[in-house]
Amino acid sequence: MLLRLMDLPLIVAAEESSELLDSEVSIVLLLAIAAAVAVVVRRIRLPYTVALVVVGLGLAFLPETAIEIDISADLILAVLVPPLLFEATLHISWGRLRRDLFPVLLLALVGTLIGAFVVGGFVSGFVDGVPWAPAVAFGALISATDPVAVIAFFRSIGVSKRLTILVEGESLFNDGVAFVVFIIALAAAGPGATFSLGSAVGQFVIDAFGGLAIGLVLGYVVSSLILKNLDDHLIETVVTVALAFGSYLLAEEFGAIFDLTDVHLSGILAVVAAGLMVGNIGLRNTSPTTRLTLENFWEFLAFVVNSLVFLLLGLRIEISQLLDHADEILVAVVAIQITRLVVVYGLGAIHALIQPDRKIPRSYRHVMFWGGLRGAISVALALSLVAEESSLGAELVSTLQVMTFGVVLFTLLVQGLTIGRLIKRLGLAAKAEERIEQQRRQARIYAQQAGLDELERLRNQGILFRDLYEAIAGLYQGELARDREQLGDHLRRYPELETDMYLQARADTLRAERSALQDAARRGLIAEDVLAELTAEINDHLAALEFIEGDARQGEIVVSEEGEGG
């Protein structure tokens, strides 16, 4: 008997090791499936995230022991969401975001609040057994938009940067706002809980702005003290990973760390603020090699996490449950579409009155309305409702979860598959055939010139004899002359493309100047105040170029919208 008791820790450790191994095998299998899906969608032109959800639905029919992984809210919120948000904010230019910060915050803050209460009213009124406070919590979690599939499509067809900023900026901020409203609504839904508008507003302000403050402080420290003074791409990459997860954890556990039981800060908004600081300050303080390493690493990590999130989403959804709750899901789908209509067009009209010179074109609003997909954040918040079963009841929690999964599935499969046709029908795809042909010819010239340069290097090093060099170089020079002539003819037919080429070339040269200044400062050739002064001048030129580029690409759209009466 004593021997068996002594063996008990070994048995427990063996079981835990087996569970860990099973989870590892499951993750490897999911990554292999994600890679296969990525290869397939390149051929069939299906949005990658939509394809992942469909495949995930198919995996749900496999035996339960085939893929064993705990799909919990903590896994999605604490492990998978921070890298997604951090990578997205790295590529957002503060200059562009600042120009449209008012409509972004209007949609993210006021729009999310409208969504929470309007959807909550629909659900509590038309779905039996769902009280007001839990309905508002559902309205909050389902108001968090997830534009992953939409943004990926934007980049593939060349949608204007302003529309991308509007869609992505709203999503980044409304994730955090939705989370804060969700927590407040759940607190009001507990047994014996009382709701006070004043205390709710105060808690909202503390949660939201406290999370932003933590992210801004940590992001500034990392960007100005570490990324600026180090030139080691491995250390700097590790620091940004620690920042992404650390800012989330510090905000979420702020009350526990400092023994403030009533204080909870938004980890999501902390990650967003930290990513914005690194993307706009930190990456400018690093060397070109480190910047390239960071961008490649975070792009890879976001690809892996996105793949896992949407495959897990497909695995978590049970078709039988969706069919059993079809009526409730229909109510939720109708509610979010009506709410989205009010938010995008109503708040868009208010914004047009306040900032008529920056009003959002009607065609943009159409895309923002239909592109309001739901995804990882909504699913994570729905999964977290399991912890509320003791106060809300298992049946109510199950109903809210199934409604969430049904709405997410509808937006991904219906809206996600049709948003591309809408964008093209509205004429917002910048990569028209003439632009694609220009890029094709430029790419050929660029590649041929690189080949000619390599040939020159081989000759100078004595690897190639003169006769061989002249024979191969003659072929390259003939192809270069032909392609340059064809590019010139193409630009004469479409002169607006030459303007784009000029703007791009000027932006590239300005970035090269900025990089040279930073290198000069690191070598001690110029003082920090001189670096700051000259860098500010270059940044102003870049901002002006971005503004000109945006006007050039949006001018026809804005004019046509004004002609329709705004």
* Residue entry with tokens 């004469």: 492
pLDDT at 6: 52
Would you list the DSSP string of 502-542?
HHHHHHHHHHHHHHHHHHHHHTTSS-HHHHHHHHHHHHHHH
Q: What is the pLDDT of residue 138?
A: 96
Identify which has the larger pLDDT, 157 or 553.
Answer: 157
Select the more confidently predicted residue: 396 or 189: 396
Question: Identity (one letter) of the amino acid at 243?
Answer: L
Query: pLDDT tier at 565 (50, 70, 90 boundaries)?
Result: very low
pLDDT of residue 192: 65
Tell me which amino acid residue 226 is: I
What pLDDT is recorded for position 210?
93
* pLDDT of amino acid 496: 66
Across the range 286-297, mean pLDDT stands at 80
Q: And the tokens for 88? A: 């997205």
564 vs 376, which has greater pLDDT?
376
What is the C-alpha to C-alpha distance for residues 34 and 39, in angstroms, rounded to an integer?
Answer: 9
Q: What percentage of the chain carries pLDDT values higher than 90?
A: 30
239: number of CA atoms within 13 Å, CB side? 25
Residue bearing the bigger pLDDT, 117 or 548: 117
**Average of per-residue pLDDT across 3-30:** 64
Q: For 394-428, b where at least 16 C-beta lie within 10 A, e where not — what string?
A: eebbebbbbbbbbbbbbbbeebbeebbebbeeeeb
pLDDT in tens, 63-104: 766 677 776 777 778 888 899 889 988 888 888 888 899 999
pLDDT digits (tens, 9 = 90+) for 304-318: 888 888 887 777 777
Confidence of residue 153 (pLDDT cuts 50, 70, 90): low
Tell me the two tokens of residue 12.
């427990």
- pLDDT tens-digit profile of 403-424? 999 999 899 889 988 888 898 8
Res 507: pLDDT: 82
Of 457, 375, 447, nearest to 416 by C-alpha is 375
List of E strands, 234-372: none
**pTM for this entry:** 0.74
Least Cα distance to 223 among 235, 233, 236 occurs for: 236
The predicted structure's pLDDT at residue 554: 45
150 pLDDT higher than 90: no
**Contact between residue 332 and residue 123 where contact means Cβ atoms under 8 Å apart:** yes
Q: What is the pLDDT of residue 187?
A: 85
Q: What is the pLDDT of residue 162?
A: 87
Query: Is the pLDDT confidence value at 557 over 50?
Result: no
Tokens of 506: 């000027």
3-class secondary-structure state, position 153: helix
Residue 7: is its pLDDT beyond 60? no
Q: Of all residues in the chain, what percent carry a pLDDT higher than 70? A: 89
Q: List residues bridging with 145 in a β-sheet.
A: 374
Q: How far apart are CA 364 and CA 92, in angstroms?
A: 19
pLDDT at residue 555 in the model? 44
- Chain mean pLDDT for the chain: 83
In 3D, which of 290, 284, 294, 205 has the Cα closest to residue 243? 294
| Over residues 253-271, mean pLDDT | 86
> Which run of H or of E encompasses 357?
none
d(CA 12, CA 31): 29
End-to-end alpha carbon distance in the chain: 84
Between 111-126 and 132-141, two packed helices, what is the crossing angle to 10 degrees? 130
Give the tokens for residue 258: 């400092």
